[in-house]
Amino acid sequence: MTKFEPRGRKVKILATVGPASRDPDMLRRLFKAGVDAFRVNLSHGEHEGHAETITAIRALEKEFNRPIAVLCDLQGPKLRVGAFAGGQAIIPHGHKFTLDRDPAPGDGTRVCLPHKELFGLLEPGHRLLINDGKIRLRVTEATVDKIVCTAEVGGVISDRKGVNVPDAEVPIPALTDKDRRDLAFAIEQGADWIALSFVQRPDDLAEARKLMDGKAALCAKIEKPQAIRRLNEIIELADGVMVARGDLGVELNPEEVPPLQKKIVNATRLTGKPVIVATQMLESMIESPAPTRAEVSDVANAVYDGADAVMLSAETAAGQWPEEAVMMMDSIARQVERDDAYRQRVRLLDTQPDPTTADALAHACMTIADTVAINAITVFTSTGSSARRVARERPSVPLMVLTPNSAVARKMALLWGAHAVTIREIGSFEEMIAKGKRMALRHGFGGAGSKLVVMAGVPFGVSGATNLLHVVTLAGDELNNHAN
């Protein structure tokens, strides 16, 4: 087993696995470069290949004795146009273009739209965005059989390009038949997080919850304007949130996305649930070994805003420089967190504790760490709830999460500041204190004479019983006891 020191940074890095990174050796290099969690994009590839990837990630976990989260991302109900004669057509600017229910191959004047839900739903004035917004249509007439549009922005349109409908809530379920199969596969493979795409309403989370049966955490991807209208309800029903800026940026004006990103991050942070900022963070590193200055600023701003994790997509999935992209993201995060202004910036959000004992103790952890020379906060938890409460306060010192549940430890890989360690069940107060000291020494959170804040609940093993805060001093001879 390889000894692995804590990362030394608070924000986590989520990297997407793809052709450029699925090789076990590359996965190992990405992990060593700074990846805390891996995203398996179920929109592409076959189950067999994804299973091999997850097996390789679990082997890394064993090698480095460090919990690693696997997030399986469901494709969701992607809307697409039909096929064209010859594979493509040209829609001239300002010309009329019709979407209908006729399956015949399309041309420069019409194409099939194989989604009956949209007919009778759209109204004059609504927009249709095709191929990530490269073609923009404005509805002039809509019936149950056809949708007549004017091409505000024309261009080349080809087979089965995606369609975005920003001005209407489309009455289609968040899970397709493919998603249900992929979800069953992900649960069977022991995925730690399931990301649900194109969430529009709180109800969209219900079916996924039922199928998951408590066997993973649910991440709601916010990429539809409709989701913003009911954001707090969606956050309440999810275990975490992803700011998926790709489709969100297609359906909204570009200048609307940055303030919405901050709104989503802040609303999620108030609940203590992990929030991930994703899409195009270091996009130029797909082909270049160095990012643009604007991309560096984008990543830095997400870190300053207190996001729990930042994500790499095509940069690690299909790019030419996957390892360099991770190293760059790691370097940016570390530089931001070294900034004297970081602690103040990351706490601009007023996360007032709820009127509960657990929240009051979590807030006290932060206050003690700010007042006394503390090396780390140690949280004993069986569900992860106490750790999320402490992380919500964005304390100035590392957070060591000790849990007997390996599934909980893996989920913590996306939680700000958390370094999770799987331990055996604790039976007494004395055993808890001794274990906390040993783990702090073993994992590099101080040496002899260092102070540690310990937060836990008694009786042990009872969920929701957080009621204890204790400050201890580490002694060097406790390093000699390596019992786990």
Mean pLDDT of 361-378: 94
pLDDT at 428 exceeding the cut of 90:
no
Mean pLDDT is lowest, of 38-47, 163-172, 402-411, for 163-172
Answer whether CATH 3.20.20.60 is correct for domain 12-76+173-341: yes
Q: How many CB atoms lie within 10 A of CB 165?
A: 22
Q: Which residue from 51, 135, 124, 52 is spatially nearest to 90, judged by alpha carbons? A: 135
Over residues 95-119, the pLDDT tens digits come to 999 999 999 999 999 999 999 989 9
The architecture that CATH gives domain 79-164 is Beta Barrel (2.40)
Mean pLDDT of 139-154: 96
Among this protein's residues, is 98 annotated catalytic?
A: no
Q: What residue type is assigned to position 288 of the chain?
A: S
Catalytic residue, chosen from 279, 403, 422, 466, is 279
Q: Pick the more confident residue, 251 or 261.
A: 261
Q: How many CB atoms lie within 10 A of CB 196?
A: 25
Share of the chain above pLDDT 70, in %: 96
CATH class given for the domain over 357-480? alpha beta
Q: What confidence category does residue 3 fall into, taking pLDDT thresholds of 50, 70 and 90?
A: low
Mean pLDDT of 84-95: 95
Q: DSSP state, 84?
A: B
Catalytic residue, chosen from 80, 134, 230, 263, is 80
Res 467: pLDDT: 81
Q: Token pair for residue 315?
A: 């940069």
Mean pLDDT of the chain: 93
Residue owning tokens 């008694």? 458
Res 71: pLDDT: 98
Residue owning tokens 């390996």? 406
d(CA 118, CA 125): 14
pLDDT at 362 exceeding the cut of 50:
yes
Among this protein's residues, is 180 annotated catalytic?
A: no
Catalytic residue, chosen from 7, 12, 39, 224, is 39
Res 479: pLDDT: 52
Catalytic residue, chosen from 22, 221, 245, 437, is 221
Residue spans in the chain of domains classed CATH 3.20.20.60: 12-76+173-341
- 150 phi, psi to nearest 5 deg: -110, 135
Q: Token pair for residue 203?
A: 């109800």
Q: Token pair for residue 418?
A: 């958390």
- Say how many Å lie between the first and final Cα of the chain, rounded: 15
Res 251: pLDDT: 87
Among this protein's residues, is 181 annotated catalytic?
A: no
Residue spans in the chain of domains classed CATH 3.40.1380.20: 357-480
Residue spans in the chain of domains classed CATH 2.40.33.10: 79-164
Q: Token pair for residue 321?
A: 């420089």
Over residues 307-340, the pLDDT tens digits come to 999 999 999 999 999 999 999 999 999 999 999 9
pLDDT at 179 exceeding the cut of 50:
yes
Res 186: pLDDT: 98
Q: How many CB atoms lie within 10 A of CB 297?
A: 13
pLDDT at 67 exceeding the cut of 90:
yes
Among this protein's residues, is 10 annotated catalytic?
A: no
